[in-house]
Structure 1
Amino acid sequence: MYFMISSGVPNFPEYLAAVNVEDVMIAYYDSNMNEPEPRQDWAKEVKKEDLQLCTEHGQMIILYQQMLEVATASFKQHTNQTKGVHIIQELTGYEWDDETEKVTGIKQFGYNGEDFIALDIETETWISSNPQAEITKQIWNAHTNKGFWKNVFATTFPAWSSMYMNYAESFVHRKVPPSVSLLQKTSSSPVSCHATGFYPDRAVMFWRKDGEEIHEDVDHKEILPNHDGTFQMSVDLDISSIGPEDWRRYDCVFQLSGFEDDVVTRLNESITRTNWDKRKTGNDEDRSIPIITAMVVLVVIVTVGVGFAVYKRKKGKSTNLSPVNISDLSERLSPETT
């Protein structure tokens, strides 16, 4: 566990604490927060399953600020440095030797960026690392509660660590299958086989044709993390040379380490998610040609009709060009647009 308390540092928390397991931060707290915050998904699961225990540990972290403030005051007093910027850092934890099963406790303080004082767990005596810590060492040794820290490092910390590691192991070694979708931006774009929400990241995905993996016209994307600790990946297939009748010959295969069954998704237009209108057939740009042509023809017809009517009126004769007749004529001259 790492603790720090500061004074005279603007725009910075007066107190912060971090809990690490195997050099990975699992919880964080500072004086601007209401309670410690889990930093790993598996730590969040611990909080859900054992809220009381996590609450107790959280309260201990918050209350420890008062103890550290006392240490800060004594450091300042004993070094005659009561003004200005001051930072005290504390590292408390233990190391476990797998071969000897020996537990080595660590409890040491730093003051203003330098080693200051540390506890020898075996003798339960404080050892100064800085000449300025001599007075603090004498006072702390005179008031040391013999047996307290030995018990903490021999029983309390290993029990906590074992519990958290069990949660971490179950979370790290879990297997979560993906949700797989077929995506396509436009009718001429590649079809992307997209898998998301899987864990761990030891996964492969590829396209097959008639049951055989293919590499031509295939673009593999890198595996990316999701915000919840799971992963996502995709592999694109260029379908520009694939006729609609051959789509059924292609499928996307996702394989996750630890799972026996593959996730197979057949190339199928009906299940492909797009942001274009599938009711339209052919290329949208090509379809705009007959529509524009029909509009031009209609404009020409109306223009000619109006001009003819004006010409007739100048001749002293009247004529009616019915809108219905214009519509009928335009439908006969223009291509089918629906």
Structure 2
Amino acid sequence: MKAFLALCVVFLGITDTVAMSHSLKYFYTASSGIPNFPEFASVGMVDNFPIDHYDSNTGRAQIKQDWMTKVIADDPQYMDRNTQVYLGDQQTFKANIEMVKQRFNQTGGVHLYHSMYGCEWDDETDEVNGYDQDGYDGEDFISLDLKTETWIAAKSQAVIMKHIWESNKAYIAQNKYYYTQYCPEWLKKYVNYGRSSLMRKDLPSVSLLQKTPSSLVTCHATGFYPDRADLFWRKDGEELHEDVDKGEILPNHDGTFQMSVDLKISSIAAEDWKKYDCVFQMSDVKDDIIKLDKSVIRTNEGNSLPMIIPIVVAVAVLSVITVVGFIVYKKKNDKRPPSPVENREVQEEMLPKA
């Protein structure tokens, strides 16, 4: 999913930083038939940190990181422009979800469609990747293959869109420019503004958790940043791949991350527990190792087991569902990365009139 422009050390003013991959992503979602849920919501993210949010309930774009105030200080009209962009997207989504429902011969019920688009940049290799993944009701709908400059229709209902977009040579060129130059340029700007947060490293709190004495033992790490980390069980110093269940890295509400890995202990003899440990690894920091020991396991019996319910930002909810969607929007904006779908040419029947 990404020939990025080089990130100049002088331009960013960054020295002695750890090389890493940065990302700028936008998540759009629209809903139909869900009471008390926004008809439209959008979240922009840099390195998995939400930088702004908009939904149809508030009707106003809001920044989500303190360092975004620097962007506004340099560009006082930034949030007003974004609000107008999102208001336009909201109207487009409201019309298009009805159109998509018609294509699937649906008249009611609960429906969602989303779009996730953006770019990634590796500040060591200078590699760039761009992606646009759309879908409907949790299933792939249509996605961009940037290398071949073609669209992949996952549903027959999306084939007409594929043909229209691929026949528009100007739109293909705009896509290539957006993902290889425009989006990366803005990503670098955001990294520059937020480098004190984005370049940091936070170490986690690692705990062993267990519901009952006979249940799985969970090794849980939370509060770490960035998300390029690993958590695993070992036996006699060797990583285990059997009798373990590794979870995904999930975001916390404060921009840090959490993950867990379960160990099946039913077949482990009591005298062999000392052979096992859980290891948290992150580059350039010392491994955090916790031994499998009954005395340190927190359970529902005796020790209080903390509630491990991820407080996930709105965009994370969108990303858990298959990244999907369909947007057609046609307003230009030179001060914020416009949606690459803004300039998609569509046939009149594809976009219901207001």
Q: Which has the higher contact order (CA 8 A, sep 6+)?
A: 2
TM interval, short-chain normalised: 0.3 to 0.5
- TM-score, length-scaled by structure 2: 0.45
Larger radius of gyration: 1
* Greater helix fraction, Structure 1 or Structure 2: 1
Q: Given the two structures, how large is their TM-score scaled by the length of structure 1?
A: 0.47
